[in-house]
Structure 1
Amino acid sequence: MLVVGSLTLWRNDRIASEATAATDDAQDLIRKSVQWQGMTQTAVARSMASAISSDPAVGELFKANIANDAPEVAKLREQIAAQAQRPEDQAKLKEIVGLGQALLAASKKAREAGAAGDWSATSRIVQNEYAPAVKLYLDAIGQFVAMQEARAATAREAAAAARASLRWQAAIGALVIAAVGLFTAWLLIRAIVQPMAQAVRVAEAVAGGDLRSDIQPDSRDETGQLLGALQRMNQSLTGIVGQVRLSSDSIATGTGEIATGNADLSQRTEQQAANLEQTAASMEQLTATVKQNAETARTATQLAQTASTVAAEGGQAVQEVVAVMRQIDESSRRITDIIGTIDGIAFQTNILALNAAVEAARAGEQGRGFAVVASEVRALAQRSAAAAKEIKGLIGDSGARVEAGSRLAGSAGETMGQIVEQVKRVSDLIAEISAASAEQSQGIDQIGDAIAQLDQVTQQNAALVEESAAAAESLKQQATQLHQAVAVFRL
């Protein structure tokens, strides 16, 4: 609105200044034109008087006056010509210049006739030529002045019309500014007052415990940010109150359960005290039984030690048998290897006999005796191989039996070892049982002491149960008060 008002005032000032300047220019031009017209009329009158006067002194006087005023008249004419730039003004000035030249020619002619002393010719020239030229010249100047006055009147009318238009424009501008101001005020009321009123309503609702307000900020300005903050505050309070309400309900439920549990605990404490008395009586019986078990365990330990010694001796004998069987098995393996060597020798001898027979056959009669020897050697090698094979079979059978015996002896040795181990474990277990029985006897004594302490602790627990019941009741009352305080809020 300030910008619109400033622009309107500036435009009004500009139009008024232009109208004033135009009026001032027109008035100045009129003033100069009227002055020019008056001085021209004076100069013409002096020139006419100088032309028709028979007294030379008068003529010279008027000529001097005309000569004195001529520069000022010329200066006014130049100023008017420079200021009047409109085409019609320039045309009228051009016409005036032409009429002025005709006037000067008539004036010169009249002065020449007067100088010659021909006054009748002078009078005739003045009346017939000079006077009409003066009239035309002065009429033209009068028309120029009338044109300037008419233009000045038009400028004044235009200025008046401009001022009237400016008044209307100012009135319309004022109405527009007022309308814009009212619209702006309405927008401000809508953008500020209404959101602030909504914020006040929300705050009053929250103060009254109503958290069900639906806040929907519809802008991002300061009021929108305020409503957004109230929305977040309302949501946060809703969550907090809901959590507090749930917590108060949970606390109330928990305190009720604690009170019930304390009552049950009190009953169980009394039952526990009675059970402790029964436990003490049972512990006395258990002490006697444990002592008897300890004596029996000592006797069993002695018997187990004797059995362990016998089993260890049997295991040692079995280990010796196993060692002998292993030696026999090792010897059988060595014999088998030797027989393998003999079998290889017989095989090679047989090959050599075959080669010898082939060579004897090639020798013919000379090698017949050598062939017989080779045949016998071959037969001997075959019998040696057969005997070695039979021995190998017998040794293999014996080795298998020795191996089976070794396995049986080893198994027996392992069994005896396991027996010895089991007997040792039994002996250890019996020793552990004996030690455990002694420890149990000590433990039972400690249990008796612990039962006495437990009885004391049970009595202390009974006192604590009463205190806990009182605290639970107080907590239940506080939870009820908290629930009542939170119940004011409506979610």
Structure 2
Amino acid sequence: MQLKLKGKFLLPTTLLIILGMGTIAFGSYSLARKTLEKELIEQMQLMVASLSQNMDALIERTKMDLTAWSHQEAFRKAIQSFSSGDMLEESNRLLSALQEAYPFYETVAIVNSSGSAVSSSDVKIIGKISIADRDYFQRAMKGEVALSDVLASRSSGNPIVTVAAPIYDAETRIGALVGIINLAYLTHLYIDPVKIGQTGYAYIYDANGIMVAHPDPKQILTMDMHDYDFGQEMLKKETGEIVYEWQNLLKIAVFQKSKNTGWTVTLTAGSVEVFAPIRRLGIISLVVALLVISVEIIVIALLVRSIIAPVMQSMRFANAIASGDLSATIFSRRKDELGSLIQSLHEMKSRIAQALQETTSVLRGVEQGNLAVRGNPEQFPGGWKELILGVNAVTEAFVAPIKLTAEQLERIAKGDIPEMIQTEAAGDFNLIKNNLNLLIRSMNEITQLAERMAEGDLLTNIAERSEQDRLMQALNAMMLRLRNVVREVKTIASDVAGNSENLSSSATELSEGVSEQAAAAEEASSSMEQMAANIRQNSDNALQTEKIALKASEDARKSRESVTQTVLAMREIVKKISTIEEIARKTHMLSLNATIEAARAQDFGKGFAVVAAEVRLLSTQVETAAMDINEVAGNSIVIAEKAGEMLDKLVPDIQRTTELVQEIAAASREQTMGSAQINKAVQQLDQVTQQNAAISEEFAASAAELNGQAEQLQELIAFFIAEKEEEEELEDVDKEMTVEKETPKVMPKLKHVSSKPNKRKSVTKKHVRQAAREITDDYDEYKDELDDEFERY
């Protein structure tokens, strides 16, 4: 932004005043705020340290008191004689007296070594509670005066903490004296009285971050410092200060952690309330600074105004002269430097008007075509005279070059290219001469380029006159595109010729291969028919084998049943033989009795004795035969059972064989169907092969025709010279060229290649047209805006 002179006076001065007063006011405010903040934090640190010390002292005092009271004989006897009513009454009375004397105790009790309450100031809990699993009791039983974590009281709901001191009988720990401290009482005693302003207060949280003392009872045992960012930051430190937001109020907090209890005492104050006096002081300082700044600006503005008025008058006059208004006037009665400046401006305006009038007369003559008119420098002094002489010299310097340039351009416009300008010139006129010569040389080069292109030479390049020479760039780009197109066409023609020969050879080989493939297909068809017959025979054999296997399986099953019946019959025979053995034994016994009775009868029993002897002999033979039959029968049973076991093993194998034979029969049937399908496919393949043979013959004829047309294309494109190794051919052409234009060489006509007509001929022509389109597309891909200036055919 461009400032005016008045602004340049007022703005820096005003900024300096504002900066100075602002720095003083801000410095005073910042110093006062920092001083107050430092004093506040120091006072809060002292208060926090005092509260922490008081809490530690109270806990230590409690530990010492419980340790001293634990030596009471009544407490030791209460544990040893729990069933004695007199001792318990004395112990309960002492505990109640302690609770009344120290109101911060909620309950004072005695527990035995098993953790059960044996005496208490609250008789309701005697024998009903056990603290054996509590950490503080276990530590007390190890000889330590232990402090528990903060918990909620079951009876009152207040936060409590328990102190346990061991009770000794000689050197043996027999129980503990337990004091339950009501932290609500301590809060009322130490925390509630602490106030900093209207919104400042103190609170305590334990090592786990749980609020144990707070002016708001709703926060006690429910607020967890881990749930808040500022709480997490405070838990990481043992002491310090922090600024945080609580219930939309900015707070300053100082905290200190007790090493004895692990509790952290925190004192907080409202930032807005604490710094309210400092803000009021800042507002007063700001108002005073604004008043001082306003008065100073008014005084400076009055001083600047008396200086700026004549300067502004001179500036308006100078602007009018600069804009061409020579009718403006200026006048001042001041006798100081500003008055002299105004007078000098008035004289300057008169000289400018006179010089302008003389220059205008010369310019009007030039505009009217009168290049002989000149200014009169004699009526001007000093530099004004030099100005008029300079105007005359400029007019004279323009005459000769302008006339020469007009003549040369007229000849070029008519197509008559003139000779190069040899006249010496200086300065910008030499630049005009050089540019005209460059134009003449370029026109000559373009003419020569066109003549060589007419002879088929595409290797010529033209030097660019500048980076903006679009004509030469377009001609060079056209030559490059034409060379690329010709090279691509030559390459494609050569590739087409070579590929056509390969194509013809491949077509011949394809025809021979197709014929061999047809013969192989016929042999494959014959082999498939024979294989189909073999598969059908295998299928019939598999069906017969399946029937035999099923019959064998059935016979084996029936044999197993016969063997089972034989075993049962043999076992029945063994039983009958056992009966016969028994009968023989009894018959032998009867024969012995008969012999004894015959002996007693003496002569009358001799005949009966002979009969008895024969009967005994017969019974012996019968018993011997029965034993032999029994042995044979037993062996027969073992053999029959083994045969049955072998049949049991044989039947599953025969069944598995039957299943395999069935699968073989099914596979044979599937092979029969598959062979039929393969035979059909081979026949179709034979038909396709025959068709391919006919097509390959047509393909060979088309390849021959394509080869002839590729040779024609090579002869046609040979007219153009697009490679450097072809430059030698241009030398003969240059020798034959004369000043007078001869009849230009024409491109050879396309010869007709006669070929036997066939139905594939149209495909070959389509390929040639496709190659031409690809050449055109390649040209379109590399063209730029310079190519659009030329007509395309």
TM-score, length basis structure 1: 0.39
The structure that is strand-richer by fraction is 2
Q: Which has the larger radius of gyration?
A: 1
The structure that is helix-richer by fraction is 1
Q: Which has the higher contact order (CA 8 A, sep 6+)?
A: 1
TM-score, length basis structure 2: 0.25
